[in-house]
Each structure stands twice: as structure tokens, then as C-alpha cells.
Structure 1
Amino acid sequence: MSGTDEIERLIELMSRLPGLGPRSARRAVLHLIRKRALLLKPLAQSMQVVADTARECLNCGNVGTSDICALCEDEGRANGLLCVVEDVADLWAMERANVFKGRYHVLGGTLSALDGIGPDDLRIPQLKQRITAEAVSEVVLALNATIDGQTTAHYIADQLEGTVTLTSLAQGVPIGGELDYLDDGTITAALNARKPL
């Protein structure tokens, strides 16, 4: 394989990343090559370390470099609150907001009859075990406001009914949002969840 073929292979691999198409990947690879010592070599080393050490937390499903992630090991978070999310990206988004101080549970997807994903394909049985084992008093269902997300939330609510307090994230108009740009479902959810001033 010639040097050009190897560069083309890198471009092709990078174009598979979310948010990068072939043109963006080509620009990124050219930038990395130009900044070889500053970016490319450290990036390659870091990617190798992550490839060798990254694993899923055995407890919550988060991604880290140890069997139990730092969020699960943090005793300050053992406060009876458990936030259920669809995937690790959602967990990281919640953490970025820096407002939730409980623990998390990553389902690994949502129920989907069309895709053949049932309750046993997700981490729902582990969720039930954790609620008992960790003396969870409230489960926050922070699932996406999609049909599959809402179906999953209703299924979990049915499974946990009477065992724990269930809450969900509020839905509606985002801060800074303009009504003219919102879809009908968002406006409907916002109107139905209105509160007194």
C-alpha cells in the first residue's frame, strides 16, 4: 500500500465519524498532517490508549477506563436519585449541564418494534436490580421525546409502578426558542405543560 493509499484510507475512516463527510474528513486529515507533531502523533497515541483501555461500566453502562466509572464510585452521588438515559451521549450531556447530582443508568437504546428491539435487548433488567440494590427512591426518565423514547418511558413506568417515585424531564419551548421555529409537537407539549406565573 502506498503512502497516498494510507492517507486516503485515513480520510475514508474519518468520513465515517458523525458530523464528518468526505470533504470535512479530507480537510481534517490535511490539517492533522500539517500539524503532525502537535496534533497527529498525540492524537494517534491517545486513540491507541483509549482503544486499549475503554470499557463499559459494569454498573451503569457509562464509558470509562475502569470496570466501575467515577460517577458510580462517587459516594456523594449515592443519594437515592437515578437518571435513566438512552445512551452515553445523553449521560454526558446531562453531566455537562452540571445540575444532576445522582447516579445514571444507560439503557443502550430504546424499544423499537420496527427494529426488533425488546426489553431484554436493553438494560432494563439491570435497572430493576439497581433500584433494589441501591435503595433508589426516585427514577428520572430522561429519554428523548421521540416515539421510541416515549414508548420506552411508558414501558419502564409500567414495570416500576408502585416501587419508586417516577419523574421525567419537562418538555416544551427551549430557552431562547422562538415559537415560529418550533414544530407542532414541541408547541403542544409546551402548552400542555404550562404553569402559573
Structure 2
Amino acid sequence: MYEGAVQELIDELGRLPGIGPKSAQRIAFHILDADAEDMTRLAASIQQAKEKVRFCEICFNISEQETCGICRDERRDTSQICIVEESKDVLAIERTRAFNGKYHVLGGSINPIAGIGPEQLHIRELVARLGDSSITELILATDPNLEGEATAIYLVRQLSPLGIKITRLASGLPVGGDLEYADEVTLARAFEGRRNTIAPSSSRG
């Protein structure tokens, strides 16, 4: 344990995702050893991002305006909506250049252990968007892990009655992985091989 500000910095860094105690300590000492002007710019960048960045009013991707650049782009295909968990997934898919439609960012995935249910996600807003008759396909691009699969199954059950074609990215994506870590070729092939989804039949007592 260190004293005062140093330990507080380590503790705060340790709260970041993927940063363990040793990594937090290493980053903290890097900050202390770095040039003061560089760290001032870093702090200013963090503060500026928190002040300026918001969520798009349509798709909930990150944006500095009321709507994001993708939603404003009139060249995009409005007949397809790709449903992802987080904004970082939008970036991963955009790098593939395999998709030219619109997006909808759920803001996470269904995870009862973490207290995240459908009500905490942007599903209601998605349903509202589907009133647009130009939408002909929904592409489920949730992560291929337990939470992502549970979210996809829930969405299929809720959205199938609307009569819109629902597809799921192909199984070229590794099971248990995260979309953001998939390489461009794998993601592009997953789009090419996406399949129709079928709503699970409800069990009868």
C-alpha cells in the first residue's frame, strides 16, 4: 500500500476493465514519471470526452451530435439494421466494409447475474424504429457468448411476430468470444454467411 494520492490513483486505475492491481500500479508510476504536459493533455482529453460525447438519439451509438454520422449518412442502406451490444462493436463491423446499413446499439446484453434485464437495454427504442416500413432485415450481431446468445434468443422471440426477416451472424465467430476482438476477415465472412433465425417454440405444460 502506498500513501495518499499515489494509492488513490492506483485504486482508480484498478477499477478500469481489464486492469488488474499490477497493471494499475505500473500505469500509475508511468503517469508519475511522464512529462507533466503530456499528462495534462491526457487529463484534458478525458474531461473533454466526458463533456462532449453523448449517445445518438436514434441508434445509441456514441456521437458528439444529437445523431451519429452513420444515422446522418443518406448513402447508407435503410432497409437493414444491425443490432449490436456496444458502440465498440459498430467500429469493429465498420472496419470490415461488409455492411452498409444502419445500426442499433443495445447498451449491453441480458445478464441476470449482473442485474441486467431487457428493461435496461435499448430494446423498446428498437421496436419503435421498426415502425418504418422500409426496414426489411434485422441482423443480430450480439457476442457469441452466453449473454449474447441469451439476448439474441430474447430478441427473436420479441421481434419475430413483426414479420421482419431476422438473421444471425454465421458461426465463423468463435463461441465465447467478443465481437470487438474478431478480425476483419472473420467478421466479413460472418456477415456473408448470416442465417435466418427461428423463434424458439414455447414449452407447453
Fold shared, TM-score > 0.5 on shorter chain: yes
Q: Count matched residues.
A: 172
Distance change in 2, residues 1:108/1:36 (3 Å): same
CA, structure 1 residues 145+59, in 2 after alignment: closer, same or farther (shift >3 Å)? same
Give deviations 1:29-53, integer Å, cap 9, x for gaps: 2223332246311111101101211
Q: Which residue of 1 aligns with 2:4?
A: 5
Give the TM-score taking structure 2 as reference length: 0.73
Contact 1:32 1:39 in 2 (8 A): no
Shift of 1:26: 1.9
1:32 and 2:31 matched: yes
Q: Tell me by how many angstroms 1:9 deviates.
A: 1.5
Q: Which residue number corresponds to residue 156 of structure 1?
A: 155
TM-score by length of 1: 0.75
Q: Which amino acid aligns with 1:164?
A: I
The equivalent of 2:165 in structure 1 is 165
Q: Which runs of 5+ in 2 are unaligned?
A: 175-192, 194-205
Identity level (%): 37
**Pair 1:63 & 2:80 matched:** no
| Residue 50 (str. 1) matches residue 49 (str. 2) | yes
Aligned-partner residue type, residue 38 of structure 2: L
Matches within 5 A, 1:179-190: none
Structure number with greater Rg is 1
Code of the aligned partner of 1:23: K
**Looking at both structures, which has the greater relative contact order when contacts are Cα pairs under 8 Å and sequence separation is at least 6?**
2
- 1:118 to 1:146, Cα distance in 2 relative to 1, 3 A: same
> Which residue of 2 is the match for residue 142 of structure 1?
141
SS of match in other structure, 1:75:
coil
Partner residue, 1:82: 81
Tell me, which stretches of 5 or more residues in structure 1 are unaligned? 175-192
